[in-house]
Amino acid sequence: MKGQTGEGLELSLSIPDELLTALAERVAALALKRDESTTEAASPWLDAGAAAAYIGIPRGQLYKLTAANAIPVRKRRRGQGLRFRREELDAWIEAEYEATGWTPKIELSSSDDT
């Protein structure tokens, strides 16, 4: 122990590089496993706040759209609570924005062209 600071004790440890490397690899593996399980288990349902963030509009605007039946939304049979499905929001966004007519120009060539 080095000494006391204003917030408590300060402790200094010397850890071999091999142990630090093994620990870092283990933490990285656990973090990757956690990310994969979170992605797989992610619910397709969003609440109002998450739905507003997902489509990039203020929450108040989302409520106005739901009141006007202008956006796909689900309501609980009994009680309050709005839920939105990601794929329905994606389809709604797709329908709300018209294509610009721009298409990429692709030129195909082969090495046989001389």
**Structural domain count of the chain:** 1
Element (H, E) at 55: helix 48-55
Q: Which candidate, 107, 46, 110, places its Cα nearest to that of 74? A: 46
3-state DSSP assignment of residue 37? helix
Closest CA relative to residue 73, chosen from 61, 59, 84: 84
pLDDT at 6: 57
Q: Is residue 62 part of a domain?
A: yes
- Any domain includes 79: yes
Q: Determine the pLDDT at residue 48.
A: 94
Query: According to the model, what pLDDT value does residue 35 have?
Result: 59
At 84-93, the pLDDT tens digits run 999 999 999 9
| Element housing 8 (H / E) | strand 8-10
The structure's pTM equals 0.52
State the Cα–Cα distance between residues 46 and 96, nearest whole angstrom: 20
- Residue 17: inside a domain, yes or no? no
Residues of the chain falling short of pLDDT 50: 1, 40
**Cα atoms in the 13 Å half-sphere on the side-chain side of 19:** 4
Mean pLDDT rounded to a whole number for the chain: 80
Let me know: does 72 contact 85? Beta carbons within 8 Å. Answer: yes
| Domain span at 92 | 45-96
